[in-house]
């Protein structure tokens, strides 16, 4: 049975906090981290918040050899009253469990993990930067730790949550990005692990990213791994096309990551009475619509940038330009509304925001 006790060991040496104007993404970490272990005998156990420190792991640990690992990414924001907020954290925890299922990692008690996350954020709340557009990035991850070179699911795991203060994604306003359609490399295939948030998907995407980067592109547009026709994602974001009065996004098919920003965008558009279609869309279809002058806006969605407008999309020799390289009206409205809700500046009609308790309720839940 799972042991749901959460112990807290505070650090003896607090780190210096960076200037909130000069934050680089993912380079600074806070004073504490959350850790929890799994063994077949004890289940998930020994949950604790401890000083941030390197892990000591056997070089035979299975994660180093066969890559059995999963992760998540979400943020804590300060509202105008200075209270920490989380945006749909239960969705991230539920997705972590779905990734676990796919990678044969034992699933977690979702209520307990949310409780632990809130305690960690509470303890580290002074680390949430205050400058406009900044936040505290939350990175939960699970690795297989059993020291064994056999190919099988590990019998031991470690879950860690680390926190990193991050700067405003758009410091000088939103600049639409330039994208290349990727014809050779694929990110994921149906039946593979594309729908799971696992490091392997990222490892396999680096090469395409590197080649496109050298040619002056920010990211690649991924096509399906079989026919190389159907649009899947852009970089590590989901992708949306405003075609006439309708917004189209690739339907979830097992190889596309089910983004929480994606689902929030869909919900908001429906709430605004805008027609949204989740369906297959090929790159040929998009190009045809483009030639007819129907493609008004294109954007990516994800936790890091929230909405990332795409100004140019190159498909072999076909160059497509959207909205004169400017951020479109709808992209802007989505960005303003989502960030407004995340920072507690706008009301939250969908109950997306979870407050982090301001009272410490340590030790036990459930």
Ligand X SMILES: *Cc1c(COP(=O)(O)O)cnc(C)c1O
Integer Cα distance of 351 and 113 in angstroms: 19
Site string for ligand X, 175-204 (x = CB under 6 A): ----------------------x-------
Helix (H) or strand (E) holding 268: helix 260-271
What number of chain residues touch ligand X (CB under 6 A)?
Answer: 14
Footprint of ligand X on 63-82 (CB under 6 A): 73
| Binding test (CB under 6 A) with ligand X, winner from 124, 156, 195, 233 | 233
Give the phi and the psi of residue 255 in degrees, each rounded to 5: -105, -10
Footprint of ligand X on 108-167 (CB under 6 A): none
State how far Cα 301 lies from the chain centre. Answer: 10
Closer residue to ligand X in complex, CB, 261/290: 261
Do residues 47 and 9 touch, judged by C-beta distance below 8 A? no
Footprint of ligand X on 284-343 (CB under 6 A): 301-303
Do residues 225 and 256 touch, judged by C-beta distance below 8 A? no
Closer residue to ligand X in complex, CB, 6/260: 260
Closer residue to ligand X in complex, CB, 144/301: 301
Q: What three-state secondary structure class fits 329?
A: helix
Q: Both tokens of residue 351?
A: 């109950």
| Binding test (CB under 6 A) with ligand X, winner from 144, 145, 154, 238 | 238
Told to check if 237 binds ligand X by CB under 6 A, we report: yes
Using the rule CB under 6 A, give the single segment among 164-172, 210-218, 235-243, 328-336 that binds ligand X.
Answer: 235-243
Integer Cα distance of 250 and 239 in angstroms: 7
Do residues 220 and 212 touch, judged by C-beta distance below 8 A? yes
Closer residue to ligand X in complex, CB, 51/133: 133
Do residues 51 and 10 touch, judged by C-beta distance below 8 A? yes
Using the rule CB under 6 A, give the single segment among 125-133, 224-232, 255-263, 320-328 that binds ligand X.
Answer: 255-263
**Residue 35 β-bridge partners:** 48, 160
Smallest gap from Cβ 165 to ligand X, in A, equals 18
Query: Which residues are near ligand X by CB under 6 A?
Result: 73, 197, 233, 236-238, 257, 259-262, 301-303
């Amino acid at each position: 049975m799972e042991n749901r006790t959460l112990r807290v060991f505070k650090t003896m040496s607090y780190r210096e906090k960076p200037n909130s104007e000069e934050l680089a993404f993912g380079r600074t970490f806070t004073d504490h981290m959350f850790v929890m272990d799994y063994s077949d005998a004890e289940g998930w156990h020994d949950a604790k918040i401890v000083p941030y420190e390197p892990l000591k792991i056997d070089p035979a640990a299975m994660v180093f050899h066969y890559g059995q690992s999963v992760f998540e990414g979400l943020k804590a924001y300060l509202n105008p009253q200075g209270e920490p907020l989380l945006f749909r954290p239960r969705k991230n925890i539920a997705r972590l469990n779905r990734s676990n299922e796919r990678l044969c990692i034992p699933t977690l008690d979702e209520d307990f993990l949310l409780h632990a996350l809130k305690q960690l954020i509470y303890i580290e709340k002074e680390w949430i930067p205050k400058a406009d557009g900044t936040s505290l990035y939350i990175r939960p991850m699970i690795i297989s730790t059993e020291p064994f070179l056999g190919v099988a699911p590990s019998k031991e795991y470690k879950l860690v949550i680390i926190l990193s203060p991050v700067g405003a994604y758009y410091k000088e306003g939103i600049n639409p990005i330039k994208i290349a359609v990727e014809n050779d490399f694929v990110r994921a295939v149906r039946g593979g692990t594309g729908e799971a948030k696992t490091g392997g998907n990222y490892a396999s995407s680096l090469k395409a990213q590197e080649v496109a980067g050298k040619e002056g592109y920010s990211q690649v547009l991924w096509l399906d791994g079989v026919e190389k026709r159907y649009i899947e994602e852009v970089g590590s974001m989901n992708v949306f096309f405003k075609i006439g009065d309708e917004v189209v996004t690739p339907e979830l098919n097992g190889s596309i990551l089910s983004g929480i920003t994606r689902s929030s965008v869909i919900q908001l558009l429906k709430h605004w009475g805008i027609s949204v279609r989740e369906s297959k869309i090929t790159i040929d279809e998009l190009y045809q619509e483009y030639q007819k002058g129907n493609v008004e806006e294109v954007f990516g969605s994800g936790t890091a940038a929230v909405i990332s407008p795409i100004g140019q999309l190159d498909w072999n020799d076909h160059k497509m330009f959207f909205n004169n390289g400017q951020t479109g009206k709808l992209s802007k409205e989505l960005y303003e509304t989502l960030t407004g809700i995340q920072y507690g500046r706008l009301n939250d009609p969908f109950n997306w925001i979870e407050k982090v308790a301001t009272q410490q309720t340590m030790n036990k839940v459930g």
